[in-house]
Amino acid sequence: GYRSIMGMQFISKILGTLGVTDERVIDRICNTVIENGYISNFQDHMSTYGKYFDMIRYLATLAHHEDQANHLIGYTQHVITDIQQKASTAEKPRVYAVLSHPLLPLYAVKTENQLVEIAGGMSLNKELGLTESANPEYTVEELNALDPEVIIISGNFATPVAEFISTCKELGISCRALDTGRVYTLNTDLAGSSQRWALGLMDVANILHPDIFQYSLPEEYTKFNHEVGLPET
């Protein structure tokens, strides 16, 4: 199904980040994780950075690229620690994350919500324990009562901010995020990206605490490639 296809795409990208370029090796590993059921719980493997690191190590073992995995994990852990320390004393904004439309909240286990918490925000999606089955949609009344201070728009086809705000006004949505203009679209190449997890975290940190973080994502992308041993693109 769709999720299996997406899972295979994520795994293929991670393997590429680990320096695996042989299509036969990638196909072998993909077939392995399908056959042993590993892919069936893919979202859980991305739900915390500890589990994400475990997934990197597992795939690296299958590909015999353990050294590359250590570089990727070490770089990512350094970014996490640095951002957590710098944001530790900052006030945590209340953040609501959506999939393109204001009434389509990201369910709690999605990676973007974890990035919000690490970057010094309060993820309302996680606080409410939103699930795909119970909370596929939100209502205008629920969102107005939630009154988020920041709204983050995610997804490969994320709605532009101006269009998103217009939709909110048409629906009668009113909250502090709209009043203060704190509505943002995540970088579509980084948001929820399995292989560039650390760069997605930097993007969120820039959004939540611009007084603390001013990461240049193009520069950090080049640094990322260098740190994990990939050629610049």
- pLDDT tens profile 155-212: 777 789 999 999 999 999 999 999 999 999 987 666 555 567 899 999 999 999 999 9
Q: Is residue 1 pLDDT above 70, yes or no?
A: no
> What gap in Å lies between CA 171 and CA 140, rounded to an integer?
7
pTM for this entry:
0.90
Q: Is residue 44 pLDDT above 90, yes or no?
A: no
Reduced to 3 states (helix: H, G, I; strand: E, B; else coil), residue 188 is: coil
- pLDDT tens profile 78-95: 999 999 999 999 999 999
CA–CA–CA angle 154, 157, 158 (5° rounding): 40
- pLDDT tens profile 14-41: 898 899 999 999 999 999 998 998 887 7
Instruction: Enumerate the domain spans of the chain.
Output: 2-87+222-228, 94-213
Q: Say whether domain 94-213 belongs to CATH 3.20.20.70.
A: no
